[in-house]
Chain A
Amino acid sequence: MHKLQRIQDICCDKCWHDADKACPDFIRCLSEGPLCHKSESCSEKRKTFFSYASRHTLTRPVIFVGAGTCGLGAGAQATLNAVKQYLELNHVDAEIVEVGCIGLCVAEPMVDIWLPGKTRVSFKNIQATAVPPLLHSVLVEQKIPLEQILGQFEADDSLTPWKGVPLLSEHPFFKPQKRWVLANCGVIHPSHIEEYWATGGYRALEQVLGHHTPAEVCEEIEKSGLRGRGGGGFITGKKWKFALQTPAEQKYFICNADEGDPGAFMDRAVIEGDPHRVLEGLAIGAYAIGASIAYVYIRAEYPLAITRLKEAIAEAEKHHLLGTNILDSGFNLHIKIKMGAGAFVCGEETALIHSIEGKRGMPRPRPPFPAISGLWEKPTVINNVETLANLPLIITKGASFFNAVGTTNSKGTKVFAMSGKVCNTGLVEIPMGTSLRDIVFAIGGGIPGNKKYKAVQIGGPSGGCIPEQHLDIPIDYESLKTVGAMMGSGGMVVMDEDTCMVDVAKFFMDFIQRESCGKCISCREGTRQLFQIYERITRSHKSEKGFDALDRMQGIMAMKQLAEVIKETSLCGLGQSAPNPMLSTLRWFPEEYEAHIYDRTCPAKVCKDLLTYSIDPDHCTGCTLCSRNCPTHAIQGVAKSAHVINQNECIRCGSCDEYCRKGAVLVQ
Chain B
Amino acid sequence: MIQLEINNKQVDAEAGERILDVLKREGIHVPTLCHMKDRLPTGACRMCVVEAEGNSQLIPSCAYPVAEGMKLHTHSQRVLRARKTIVELLLANHPDDCLYCVRNRDCELRGLAEELQVRNRRFFPTHTKTEDSKTDYSNLAIVREQSKCILCGRCVRTCEEIMSVSAIDFIKRGSNTRIGAAFDQGLGASECIQCGQCILACPTGALSEKSHLDSVRNALADPRLTVVVQHAPSVSVTLGETFGIEPGKDVEGLLNAALRKLGFSHVFDTSFTADLTIMEEASELVERIQKDGKLPMMTSCSPGWVSFVGEFFPEYKENLSTCKSPQQMLGALIKSHFATKANLSPDAIFSVSLMPCTAKKGEAHRHGDVDAVLTTRELAALIRQSGLDLNALTPETSDTIFSERSSAGKLFGATGGVMEAALRTAHHMITGKNLANLEFRPARGLESVKEAIVKIDSLTLKIAIVSGLGNARKLLEEIKAGLREYHFIEVMTCPGGCIAGGGQPHQTDLAKIKARMMALYQIDKKATLRTSHENAAIQRIYKEFLGAPLGPVSHRLLHVHHQAEVQTEQ
Contacts and interface: CB of A to CB of B under 8 A. Distances in A.
Interface in B498-518: none
A452 interface: no
Interface string B147-169: 00011010000000000000001
A533 B124 CA distance: 8
Nearest to A535: B124
A522 B93 CA distance: 12
B309 to A, nearest CB: 25
A310 interface: no
B124 A343 contact: no
B522 interface: no
A365 B64 contact: yes
A360 interface: yes
Contact of A565 (B82, B90, B150, B151): B82
Given A364-B43, A365-B42, A525 B175 contact: yes
A518 B122 contact: no
B87 to A, nearest CB: 9
Nearest to A517: B173
A421 interface: no
A520 interface: yes
B46 interface: yes
Nearest to A530: B123
Give the most central of B43, B86, B89, B126: most A CB within 10 Å.
B89
A522 B86 contact: yes
Nearest to B56: A568
A518 B46 contact: no
A519 interface: yes
Contacts of A554: 122
A354 to B, nearest CB: 11
B63 A365 contact: yes
B543 to A, nearest CB: 59
Interface stretch (A26-34, A257-265, A438-446, A508-516): A508-516
Contacts of A567: 57
A525 B49 CA distance: 17
Contact of B124 (A513, A519, A551, A561): A551
Interface in A525-576: 525-529, 532-533, 536, 551, 554-555, 558, 561-562, 565, 567-571, 576
A520 B122 CA distance: 20
B76 to A, nearest CB: 12
Nearest to A558: B122
A521 B124 contact: no
B174 interface: yes
A565 B44 contact: no
A362 interface: yes
B20 to A, nearest CB: 12
Nearest to A554: B122
Contact of A525 (B60, B82, B93, B122): B93
B44 A520 contact: yes
A528 B126 contact: yes
B90 A521 contact: yes
B124 A516 contact: no
B177 A517 contact: yes
A525 B43 contact: no
A365 B90 contact: no
A524 interface: yes
A513 B81 contact: no
A532 B90 CA distance: 15
A367 interface: yes
B411 interface: no
B243 interface: no
A513 B175 contact: yes
Contacts of B122: 554, 558
A568 B79 CA distance: 10
A517 B151 CA distance: 12
Contacts of B429: none
B566 interface: no
Given A367-B65, A558-B123, A569-B82, A520 B45 contact: yes
B85 A532 contact: no
A565 B81 contact: yes
A518 B92 contact: no
A521 B175 contact: no
A565 B173 contact: no
A521 B43 contact: no
Interface in B180-213: none
Interface string B27-42: 0000000000000011
Interface residues of A, number: 39
B170 interface: yes
Contact of A365 (B43, B56, B153, B174): B43
A522 B89 contact: yes
B123 A521 contact: no
Given A521-B150, A528-B175, A565-B82, A571 B44 contact: yes
Contact of B174 (A515, A521, A522): A515
Contacts of B548: none
Nearest to B87: A521
Interface string B318-343: 00000000000000000000000000
A512 B173 CA distance: 10
B220 interface: no
A448 to B, nearest CB: 34
B93 A365 contact: no
B133 to A, nearest CB: 14
A482 to B, nearest CB: 15
A368 to B, nearest CB: 9
Give the most central of B85, B172, B174: most A CB within 10 Å.
B174
B85 A562 contact: yes
Given A571-B44, A576-B57, A521 B173 contact: no
B175 A569 contact: no
Contact of A524 (B42, B43, B175): B175
Contact of A527 (B78, B86, B151, B175): B175
Contacts of B151: 518-519, 521, 524
Contact of A516 (B41, B82, B150, B173): B173
B89 A532 contact: no
Nearest to A361: B173
Contacts of A533: 124
B13 to A, nearest CB: 16
B58 interface: yes
Nearest to A525: B89
A515 B126 CA distance: 18
A524 B46 CA distance: 12
A49 B414 CA distance: 81
B420 to A, nearest CB: 39
Interface in B61-93: 63-65, 78, 81-82, 85-86, 89-90, 92-93
Contact of B46 (A360, A362, A521, A532): A521
A569 B58 contact: yes
A394 to B, nearest CB: 31
Nearest to A557: B122
Contacts of A517: 173-174, 177
Nearest to B83: A569
Given A521-B89, A571-B46, A515 B124 contact: no
Contacts of B172: 518
Interface string A71-87: 00000000000000000
Contact of A521 (B44, B63, B78): B44
Given A524-B151, A525-B92, A568-B58, A519 B173 contact: no
Given A518-B151, A569-B82, 8 more contacts: A362-B170, A515-B174, A516-B173, A516-B177, A518-B170, A525-B126, A529-B92, A565-B81
Interface of B: 41-46, 49, 56-58, 60, 63-65, 78, 81-82, 85-86, 89-90, 92-93, 122-124, 126, 150-151, 153, 169-170, 172-177
24 contacts: A364-B42, A365-B60, A514-B173, A515-B173, A516-B173, A517-B177, A518-B170, A518-B172, A518-B173, A518-B176, A518-B177, A520-B46, A521-B45, A521-B150, A528-B174, A529-B124, A533-B124, A555-B124, A558-B123, A565-B86, A568-B58, A568-B82, A569-B82, A571-B60
